[in-house]
Structure 1
Amino acid sequence: MTGLRSVDLDQLADRTGIRVEFYDPDGTRYGFPTFPYQAAPDGLATRRQLRAAGLRPGGHDPVAQILWRHRTNRRVAYLYRLDLAAPKRVATPAQREAIAKALRARRTCGVCEQVKPYYIPRRYGCCLDCHGGH
Structure 2
Amino acid sequence: MSGVRRRYGVMTDRWGWQPTAWEQGGLPTWRYGSAPAGLVTRRQMRALGLAPGGAVPVAQVVWRHRRHEVRAQLWDRSELVPKRTASPAQLVALGKAMAARRWCPSCSRDVGYCIPTSFGQCAECEFPEVMSDAA
Where does residue 15 of structure 2 map in the other structure? 3
Pair 1:57 & 2:52 matched:
yes
Task: Report if aligned partners of 1:4, 1:41 keep a CA contact under 8 Å in 2.
Answer: no
Deviation at 1:86, TM superposition (A): 0.6
Where does residue 106 of structure 1 map in the other structure? 101
Where does residue 76 of structure 2 map in the other structure? 81
* TM-score normalised by the chain length of structure 1: 0.76
Deviation at 1:5, TM superposition (A): 5.9
Q: Return the letter of the residue paired with 2:28.
A: P
Residues 36/119 of structure 1: CA separation in 2 closer, same or farther (3 Å cut)? same
Match of 1:70 among 65, 71, 76: 65
**Pairs aligned (count):** 117
Task: Report if aligned partners of 1:45, 1:79 keep a CA contact under 8 Å in 2.
Answer: yes
Query: What is the CA deviation profile of residues 80-110 of structure 1, one whole-angstrom value per residue up to 9, with x for unaligned ones?
Result: 1111111111111111112111111221112
Structure 2 unmatched ranges of 5 or more: 1-11, 130-135
Residues 51/85 of structure 1: CA separation in 2 closer, same or farther (3 Å cut)? same
In the alignment, the residues of structure 2 paired with residue 103 and residue 95 of structure 1 have an alpha-carbon distance, to the nearest angstrom, of 12
Q: Return the letter of the residue paired with 2:127.
A: G
Residues 111/5 of structure 1: CA separation in 2 closer, same or farther (3 Å cut)? farther
Query: What is the CA deviation profile of residues 64-88 of structure 1, one whole-angstrom value per residue up to 9, with x for unaligned ones?
Result: 0111222233222111111111111
* TM-score normalised by the chain length of structure 2: 0.75
Residues 37/5 of structure 1: CA separation in 2 closer, same or farther (3 Å cut)? farther
In the alignment, the residues of structure 2 paired with residue 35 and residue 117 of structure 1 have an alpha-carbon distance, to the nearest angstrom, of 48
Q: Return the letter of the residue paired with 1:62.
A: P
Match of 2:39 among 41, 44, 52: 44
The runs of 4+ residues in structure 1 deviating greater than 4 Å are none
Matched position secondary structure for 2:110: coil
Q: Return the letter of the residue paired with 2:82.
A: P
| Identical residues among aligned pairs (%) | 43
Which has the greater radius of gyration? 2
